[in-house]
């Protein structure tokens, strides 16, 4: 296995951001690839710290790209234009440096919590890039998340990113679904004891109506924690 720590100064963010990449040693020239996103307060090492991602990458012969997002919510803001950086700079940069496929059928995105929101958002907005999208305990309603007393993000931090009703509306996942998403496949997983379980149920009902057999929802035991995500992330690798 190759474990690569990439750090470079981005043109969009004007600072150094990190990405951790795992590539199997099967000497392919165009690996299927999973962009695996971390949650709030995490970084590019979060998944490596909690789960043996190298083992999963080897078993499923997929390159795994884990970018640092800090607490940017995978969203453009006045402070960090993170979404634009991810789509317009990071993806082309990684593709130019490493042996990963650029075909949609080989390119997947997933994440947990804030990273689950990011995966769903980026996936929905870029169907020409990602054929499959998965999320563990995703934030599916950003307004409910802001107002939930169990949410870890302070209101002023949230409001710095989503700073107007228009910004909230254009970043709500249910508002991002278009006919262009009809050929994608989606999967969400959430624990019964998750503080956002009902939001996930509501989102699952919405997605089932929109995508029918192209959407899978798995209700599991557990809460909003790494214990739940590490127990269930291999389901995503198998599904992919």
Q: What pLDDT does residue 1 have? A: 85
Nearest 5°: the CA angle 8, 23, 9 is 5
pLDDT over 90 percentage in the chain: 96
Query: d(Cα 118, Cα 57) in Å, to the nearest integer?
Result: 21
Strand partners, 66: 20
What is 2-239's CATH superfamily?
Alpha/Beta hydrolase fold, catalytic domain (3.40.50.1820)
Overall pTM > 0.95? yes
* Half-sphere CA count of 117, side-chain side, radius 13 A: 22
**What would the mean pLDDT of 157-172 be, rounded to a whole number?**
96
Q: What pLDDT does residue 7 have? A: 96
**What would the mean pLDDT of 42-57 be, rounded to a whole number?**
97
Rounded mean pLDDT of the chain? 96
From residue 139, how far is each of 39, 83, 117, 174, 192 by CA, in Å? 10, 16, 5, 12, 15
Does pLDDT of 41 surpass 90?
yes
End-to-end CA distance of the chain: 20
Q: Around Cβ 183, how many Cβ atoms within 10 Å?
A: 12
């Amino acid at each position: 296995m190759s474990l690569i720590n990439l750090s470079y100064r981005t043109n969009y963010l004007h600072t150094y951001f990190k990405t951790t990449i795992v590539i199997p040693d099967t000497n392919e020239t165009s690996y299927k690839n999973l962009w695996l996103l971390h949650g709030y307060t995490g970084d590019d090492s979060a998944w490596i710290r909690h789960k043996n991602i190298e083992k999963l990458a080897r078993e499923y012969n997929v390159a795994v790209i884990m970018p640092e997002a800090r607490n940017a919510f995978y969203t453009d803001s006045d402070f960090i234009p993170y979404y634009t950086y991810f789509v317009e700079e990071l993806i082309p940069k990684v593709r130019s440096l490493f042996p990963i496929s650029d075909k949609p059928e080989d390119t997947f995105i997933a994440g947990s919590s804030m990273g689950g929101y990011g995966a769903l958002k980026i996936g929905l907005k870029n169907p020409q890039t990602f054929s499959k999208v998965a999320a563990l305990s995703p934030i599916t309603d950003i307004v409910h998340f802001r107002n939930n007393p169990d949410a870890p993000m302070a209101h002023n931090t949230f409001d710095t990113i989503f700073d107007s009703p228009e910004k909230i509306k254009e970043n709500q996942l249910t508002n991002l679904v278009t006919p262009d998403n009809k050929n994608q496949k989606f999967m969400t997983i959430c624990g019964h004891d998750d503080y956002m379980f009902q939001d996930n149920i509501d989102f699952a009902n919405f997605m089932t109506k929109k995508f029918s057999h192209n959407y899978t929802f798995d209700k599991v035991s557990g809460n909003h924690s790494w214990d739940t995500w590490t127990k269930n992330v291999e389901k995503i690798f198998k599904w992919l």
